[in-house]
Amino acid sequence: MELTTQIGESVTDGLAYLGALTSLGGRAAYFTFVAPFQGKPLRLQRAISQAMQTGVGALPILSLITFFIGLILALQSAYELRKFGAINFVASAVAISMTRELGPLITAIVVIGRSGSAFAAEIGTMKVTEEIDALETMAIDPIHFLVTPKFIAMMVMLPCLTIWANSMGILGGALFGVTQADFTWVRYIQSSLDALFLRDITTGLVKSVMFSMTITAVGCHEGLSTGAGAEQVGRSTTRAVVVSIFLVILVDLVFTALFFFMSEK
């Protein structure tokens, strides 16, 4: 009986948490797409600054990680394909894997570590120091003032970072192809492009947009839910990272299954 009760409470808490994230995301979307037409201007300068931190700041580490992942994919693919005399398909395997799946997912995880945690820490610190209360006292909506610029920046930059990650992954695979599989640089890139269809690219970009909303909602929600004391800021930051990674993988599963069944029709 206790087990059933615990399961029920866990499910209830999970649904309540998802409801809170949906509400926060909905309000951020309202302030982004609707409120500007009702006399509530966007904080574009802050959104641009946030985009620079989220996007440009992540380029070096993201480039290295995805380049190495592309190289690893090429090595692993070649190991199996060589048995069947099909090593020329290495370029196709790397391009499709990066574009449809690994590019968006690795980009999201890197951004969670850099920006999702920063969102929670920044807003959590403001909550502990009562700056959020001060904003509300001045009749300034914290969602409009704090969350919306992050929402805009993440929605713009994560797809851009995903495209960059895909390119670096393909480049990593090309390094193997040129040095070990008798490809030229031009032939490898051409083989990669020939293997990709528009649906492969759009699948990855749609996922990246959904990931961006998930990361922003979780990071900001955890920050706004921070309890009293500096210790709670650390807990909120840790929780934001863990929950974001879990939900991003869950969203990835849902959209992968959705695109799979849509492609069968």
Return the HEC string of 60-95.
HHHHHHHHHHHHHHHHHHHHHHHHHCCHHHHHHHHH
**Quick check: is 241 in a domain?**
yes
Q: Please indicate, yes or no, if residue 2 is contained in any of the structural domains.
A: no
Q: How many whole angstroms separate alpha carbon 74 and alpha carbon 96?
A: 12
Based on the structure, what is the number of domains in the chain? 1
The mean pLDDT value of the chain amounts to 90
21 within a domain of the structure (yes/no): no
pLDDT at position 213 is 95
Q: Where are the alpha helices (DSSP H) in the chain?
A: 2-33, 44-54, 59-81, 90-97, 103-111, 117-128, 131-137, 142, 148-180, 185-195, 198-224, 230-264
Look up the domain containing 175 and give its range: 41-260
Say whether pLDDT at 61 is over 90: yes
- Residue 228 covered by a domain: yes
Q: What is the pLDDT of residues 148-200, one digit of tens each?
A: 999 999 999 999 999 999 999 999 999 999 988 888 899 999 999 999 989 99
Q: What average pLDDT score do residues 32-55 get?
A: 88
Position of tokens 């037409």? Answer: 37
Q: Does some domain include residue 51?
A: yes
| Residues 69-91, mean pLDDT to the nearest whole number | 87
Q: Report whether pLDDT(265) > 90.
A: no
Q: Residue 244 has what pLDDT?
A: 96
The larger pLDDT score, comparing residue 2 to residue 189, is at 189
User: Residue 91: inside a domain, yes or no?
Assistant: yes
Q: How many CB atoms lie within 10 A of CB 156?
A: 18
User: Domain for residue 93, yes or no?
Assistant: yes
| Residue 34 maps to a domain | no
Determine phi and psi for 40, rounding to 5 degrees: -115, 95
pLDDT exceeds cutoff 70 at 264: no
Name which of 220, 214, 99 is nearest 155 in CA terms: 214
200 closest CA partner among 103, 94, 96: 96
- Give the residue with greater pLDDT, 154 vs 5: 154
Mean pLDDT over 69-80 rounds to 91
Phi, psi of 196 (to 5 degrees): -95, 140
Provide the percentage of residues in the chain whose pLDDT is more than 70: 99
94-144 pLDDT per residue, tens:
999 999 999 999 999 999 999 999 999 999 999 988 898 898 889 888 999
Residue 114 in contact with residue 58, Cβ under 8 Å? Answer: yes
